[in-house]
Structure 1
Amino acid sequence: MNKVFKIPASSPTKLTTLEILKERLKPLVGAEFILSGKSRTDGSNLRKLIASRLEEFPLPKAAIEGEYEIVPPKKKGIPKIVREFIDTYIVTSGKTYNLQVWNRIPSSQTLLIKYESGEILKCNDVRFILTKIDVENKKIASIIIATPKYIVEKFGVFGKPTIKHQLLISTKIREKIYASDDKIMFFKDSKKLSYLICHDFEPPKHNMTEEAKSNEILSIELIKILVAEKLIGYKIPANATKNRGQALEKKVLELLDYPLTNQELLHGGFPDIPNQLLEVKVQDTQTVDLGKFSPEKEEVIIKDLHITTFDIRYLIALTNPKTEIIEGIILSPGEKLGDVFSYVSDQSYKCQRSIPMDFFEKHTGKVVINPD
């Protein structure tokens, strides 16, 4: 495959539309395709075939080096045909087809490519080209162009293995925070939470471990004033990572005026401070361990208020690893973290979605887009 396909388009708006892709791929239906029996070889051959077809037409203008950033480390989760933001898949035989997507949650809004212009390409922007092979006749039977949103709505959510999630905060963003006037990167509360918060401080009425209640949740703006601004320059008095996290959590509780009768007994669940929907993290390397829950994927945390991982507020203290002094703060609802930072895993993983084979068979002889 031509190396030009490894370079992103100059802008998401320059990607070839799905309708035009459909027209360009039509001649491949009925074309010979001989399976080798080796999945990697067959996948590579199909990718090269589709790329060579696309190369017969003007490709989107290439991005200039330095004007974009591939966000995931080692380019994990980036589609193979980057220029058109496409991943290709071979469908053969059987009762169902198991669509496997590696190292990204397909329907999530996690950043994959970030442009200097502020434009972004996310996981849910990747286009799938699903190619059905007539095994007996050794020909391409049909091509289905599908979006992640369509697949989820048509067949259900992708399954996801349990993995250790991390948030990657680049040196560039860290330095940008340090250079800002207040040394705080701040985002407002989620729209849903904005109807449940209070904007005037009153001493806590409940224990920090009690479930959050409507109109008793401090706004994130108040938390910025009461906590974040006062933490800049604070030295965390602990060594081990876990102890440092607990030390910071205690300091946050103190600033919020929560009584701690036993300084050793903290909540230990998610979020760290349930009464304020606040998760507290310490970060002195590039990665932040997120634990059991990750705001990369929306999950309900409090059923009564329908609070999800997108609504939980994250306070991430950026510390100097040598001095343990907090030099910057990130204060954000979970839904905004993926707009600026990248979610990564400590291992390769795959998300899977089973699709009935008759879905492909009823489109034999065609190239279709998100078919009904």
Structure 2
Amino acid sequence: MNKDFKTPPKSAKKLTQPETLVQYFSELVGQPFILTGKTRTDGSNIRKLIASTLEKHSLPELAEQGEFEIVPPKAKGVPKIVREFIDTYIVTSGTSYNLQVWNRIPATETLLIKYESGESLKCNDVRFVFVRIDTEKNVVASVIILTPEYIEQKFGKFGKPTIKHQLLISGKVRKDIYGSEDKILSFPDSKKLSYQIRHDYEPPKSGMVEEPDIKHLFSIGLLKKMVAEKLIGFKLDAAATKNRGQALEKKVLELLGYEVNENDLLYGAFPDIRNQLLEVKVQDSPTVDLGKFSPEKEEIVIEDSNLTTFDVRYLIALTNPKTEIIEGIILSPGEKLGELFSYVSAESYKCQRAIPMSFFEKYYGKSVFNPS
């Protein structure tokens, strides 16, 4: 496959429209295709077939080095045909097709490619190209292009693997934060919270581990003023508590006016300061451990209030590992983290979704995109 396919387009807007791809791939329908019986070889041959078809037409202009950044380490989770943001899949026989997506959670806003212009390509921008093979006639029976959202709406959500996710904050982002006037990067609260939370300070009425009352949650704007601005330049005294995470948590609680109980610091709930729906993290390396809950995918955190990982506010202290001084702060709802940073996993993982074979049979002899 042409090595240029591993480079993204100059702009996300330059990707060939799916309707045009349908026309390109229609020429494949009915063409001979002999299966080798070796899964990897057949998969590779399908990818080469799609790539060679794309090469017959005008391709998106290539981005130049320095104009983009591939966010995940080792490009894990980035589609194989990056230039058109396409992953290919071969569909043969059986009653159900088991779609496996490696190293990314498909229908999410997680960054894969970040452009200097501010544009980006995310997990939910990947186009899935399914090539159905008629195993009796040894021909391409159909080509079906689907988006992650379509797959989830039509067939249900992808099975989420049990993995410990980390948030990758690049050196460039850290540098930009350090270079900003207040050294704080913040985003507004989620829409769900924004109409009810407090923008003026009132001393907490309950303990840090108590369930939050939305009416008494301090807005991110208030948290920035009361906490983030005062943390810049603060030295984390790791010796005073079990670790720096607890040292930071303790300082945040003091700034918010909570009574600090050492047992509460060891409570281990999510989020850390549950009463304020606030998760506190220290970052002195490229990654932040997220533990059991990750805002990459929306999950209910507090059932009574229907609050999710998207609503949880994250305070991430960017710390100098040599001095333990906080040099920058990120303050953001979970839903925004994936727009600027990337979720990574130390181990490879896959998300799966079963698609009935009857779906593919319905479009025998056709090339289609997100069929209704």
Q: TM-score range by the shorter chain?
A: over 0.9
Question: Displacement, 1:188?
Answer: 1.0
Cα pair 1:267 1:273 within 8 Å, conserved:
no
Match of 1:27 in 2: 27
Please list, as runs of the form range in 1=range in 2, the aligned pairs for 1:249-288 lying within 5 A after superposition. 249-262=249-262, 265-288=265-288
Question: Displacement, 1:239?
Answer: 6.1
Cα pair 1:250 1:263 within 8 Å, conserved:
no
Cα offsets for 1:225-275 (capped at 9, x unmatched): 111111111111116996111111111111111012446643311000011
Unmatched tracts of structure 1, length 5 or more = none
Kindly provide the amino acid, as one letter, of the partner of residue 86 in structure 2: I
Please list, as runs of the form range in 1=range in 2, the aligned pairs for 1:195-206 lying within 5 A after superposition. 195-206=195-206
Kindly provide the amino acid, as one letter, of the partner of residue 118 in structure 1: G
RMSD, aligned CA = 1.3
Cα offsets for 1:260-296 (capped at 9, x unmatched): 2446643311000011000000010000000001011
Question: Displacement, 1:214?
Answer: 2.5
Match of 1:143 in 2: 143
Q: Whole-Å Cα distance in 1 between the matches of residues 65 and 242 of structure 2?
A: 40
Check 1:137–1:279 CA distance in 2 against 1; reply closer, same or farther (3 A cut): same
Cα offsets for 1:48-105 (capped at 9, x unmatched): 0111011001101111111111111100010001111000000011110000000000
Q: Whole-Å Cα distance in 1 between the matches of residues 239 and 205 of structure 2?
A: 33
1:172 and 2:172 are equivalent in the alignment: yes
Cα pair 1:145 1:370 within 8 Å, conserved:
yes
Match of 1:357 in 2: 357
Cα pair 2:209 2:264 within 8 Å, conserved:
no
Match of 2:60 in 1: 60
Question: Displacement, 1:118?
Answer: 0.7
Match of 2:315 in 1: 315
Match of 1:121 in 2: 121
Please list, as runs of the form range in 1=range in 2, the aligned pairs for 1:1-372 lying within 5 A after superposition. 1-238=1-238, 243-262=243-262, 265-372=265-372
Kindly provide the amino acid, as one letter, of the partner of residue 131 in structure 2: T
Give the match's secondary structure for 1:218: coil
Check 1:38–1:325 CA distance in 2 against 1; reply closer, same or farther (3 A cut): same
Check 1:241–1:366 CA distance in 2 against 1; reply closer, same or farther (3 A cut): farther
Cα pair 1:112 1:121 within 8 Å, conserved:
yes
Instruction: Give the length in aligned residue pairs.
Output: 372
Kindly provide the amino acid, as one letter, of the partner of residue 7 in structure 2: I
Q: Whole-Å Cα distance in 1 between the matches of residues 289 and 276 of structure 2?
A: 21
Check 1:108–1:240 CA distance in 2 against 1; reply closer, same or farther (3 A cut): farther
Question: Displacement, 1:39?
Answer: 1.0
Q: Whole-Å Cα distance in 1 between the matches of residues 185 and 331 of structure 2?
A: 6
Kindly provide the amino acid, as one letter, of the partner of residue 148 in structure 2: P
Give the match's secondary structure for 2:215: coil
Percent identity between the two aligned chains: 70
Question: Displacement, 1:175?
Answer: 1.1
- Runs of 4+ in structure 1 deviating by more than 3 angstroms, as ranges, are 239-242, 261-266
